[in-house]
């Protein structure tokens, strides 16, 4: 996946990067997104990939396309995860490709967190636990 196809919330002093397969309508994805600033403050960059659980042809899939095609995808991601309405906008988005990648990994649900060591964590992990886990990997 090309780095420019991800929606990235960078840490100002990055120590770790996690890649998260996400769905804007997933409650636990919204919970994790609410903790992104805490992760960023602790040196963890969060990269999002799209995994609309219903797949192509669903409203959830369309919403993910609208996020990726927005003028400001980071803002659109946050708005969508707050349950706010999005401006429908289409473009040559990577949503279908990222969804297919998720199916092959296999991503079974959202959020699915991919650590830099290749380990997949299925489901929501509170920011404090994620920070602790990543810092353990350092030692």
CA distances from 128 to 18, 25, 114, 125 (A): 14, 23, 17, 8
Residue in this structure with the two tokens 């929606």, named with its chain if needed = 7
The catalytic position among 25, 26, 30, 69 is 26
The catalytic position among 25, 30, 53, 69 is 53
The catalytic position among 25, 29, 30, 69 is 29
Beta partners for 138?
none
The catalytic position among 23, 25, 30, 69 is 23
Query: Is 91 annotated as catalytic?
Result: no
Query: Is 26 annotated as catalytic?
Result: yes
Q: How far apart are CA 135 and CA 109, in angstroms?
A: 25
Query: Is 53 annotated as catalytic?
Result: yes
The phi, psi pair for 27, rounded to 5°, reads: -60, -45
Active site residues: 23, 26, 29, 53
């Amino acid at each position: 996946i090309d780095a420019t196809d991800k929606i990235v919330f960078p840490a100002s002093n990055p120590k770790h990067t996690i890649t998260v397969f996400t769905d804007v309508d997933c409650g636990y994805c919204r919970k994790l997104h609410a903790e992104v600033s805490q992760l960023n403050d602790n040196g963890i960059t969060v990269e999002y990939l799209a995994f609309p659980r219903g797949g192509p042809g669903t409203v959830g899939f369309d919403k993910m396309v609208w996020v990726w095609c927005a003028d400001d995808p980071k803002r659109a991601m946050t708005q969508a995860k707050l349950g706010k309405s999005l401006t429908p906008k289409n473009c040559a988005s990577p949503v279908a490709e990222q969804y297919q990648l998720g199916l092959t990994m296999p991503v079974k649900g959202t959020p699915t967190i991919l650590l830099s060591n290749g380990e997949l964590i299925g489901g929501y992990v509170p920011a404090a636990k994620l920070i602790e886990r990543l810092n353990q990997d350092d030692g």
